[in-house]
Amino acid sequence: MVEPRRLITPEIAAEYDVSPHTVTKSWSQHTAWPAPTGKRGRYKEYDAQDVADFVRDHVHRPAPALEPRRLYTAQDLEAADIGITAGTIRADLSRGRWPEPDDTTGGVNRWTGTTVTATLANRRGYRRTT
């Protein structure tokens, strides 16, 4: 019988190109993070497949399919299940972490699908899956 591959925090960080801090302070705090399978030195060990499943389901979300020329409000984007709430979009806009709207007709901020897709591709937690 082949033993399952087990990883510790530095190995997880190296495998997924993130910092160990991200693994310990962000990922492992998530309710879906896998339970440890043992301990190696001062680190908890995790089943590599369980970690891969977590990353696939909660970190490497595929970019949403948005119509390139359509204008979307923050509420439209939340409803399109892009993984970000309308409140986060508005907060990030005010902090300069979200692009300026492509259209503000009637005092409503709207972004094209192209703008949103490009923004999400460069945002942490969104990686292109090909």
> Each residue of 12-44: pLDDT tens digit?
999 988 899 999 998 999 999 999 999 999 999
Select from 58, 79, 97 the last residue of a domain: 58
pLDDT of residue 130: 37
Tell if the pTM clears 0.75, that is, is over it: no
For residues 75 and 39, membership in a common domain is answered with: no
φ, ψ (nearest 5 deg) of residue 91? -65, -45
Domain count, the chain: 2
Average pLDDT for the chain: 89
**Is residue 117 pLDDT above 60, yes or no?**
yes
- b/e for 65-84, b at 16 or more Cβ within 10 A? ebeeeebbbbebbbeeebbb
pLDDT of residue 81: 84
- Let me know: does 51 contact 33? Beta carbons within 8 Å: no
| Interatomic CA distance for residues 98 and 91, integer angstroms | 9
- Let me know: does 54 contact 34? Beta carbons within 8 Å: yes
Is 43 contained in some domain?
Answer: yes
Structural domain for 76, as ranges: 71-121
Among 61-65, 67-71, 112-116, the range scoring the smallest mean pLDDT is 61-65
Three-state secondary structure call for residue 44:
strand
pLDDT-based confidence at residue 64 (cuts at 50, 70, 90): confident
